[in-house]
Amino acid sequence: MSDATNNTLQAIHDLLVADVGALSEAYDTANDSNLASAISTEIGEITHRINLLQRLIFVQQSAKLDGMLPKIQTADAQVNVAIKTASKAADVINGISTFLGYVDKAIDFAKALAPLAGL
């Protein structure tokens, strides 16, 4: 690990934190229990990724990791639309699943960059 924050992982972390905030707001205005439950589940899923990234945030910079960021940002923009327009649980789950798939690939790659002893 390095002594500098990995800018790409920090950017992904920031997106996830913002998504938790948006989901929390959507939870407050959910009009049925299935939607509220789906939102709560997705908040937990995203929070798990935030926790992982916080442990990896000092992993060395990588061009391959940097190259993953545009897809994550594009998928995050779609998540934001899904959160704002969700009227049923499937809308939230489908919108977030693709995004988290990209995030998981970046996390897995970052884990490979981290020293084995630390993780």
Whether the CA torsion 34, 35, 41, 42 is positive or negative: it is positive
Distance between CA atoms of residues 90 and 8, nearest Å: 29
Give the model's pLDDT for residue 94. Answer: 87
Asked if 12 and 103 count as a contact pair (C-beta separation under 8 A), the reply is yes
Give the model's pLDDT for residue 117. Answer: 34
Give the model's pLDDT for residue 81. Answer: 92
Whether the CA torsion 7, 103, 81, 92 is positive or negative: it is negative
**Residue spans per domain, the chain:** 7-118
For residue 41, give the amino acid letter.
T
Q: What is the mean pLDDT of each run of 10 residues along the chain (119 residues)?
A: 86 98 95 93 97 94 96 96 87 90 97 69
CA-angle at 56, arms to 51 and 62, nearest 5°: 140
Asked if 98 and 75 count as a contact pair (C-beta separation under 8 A), the reply is yes
User: What's the whole-model pTM score?
Assistant: 0.92
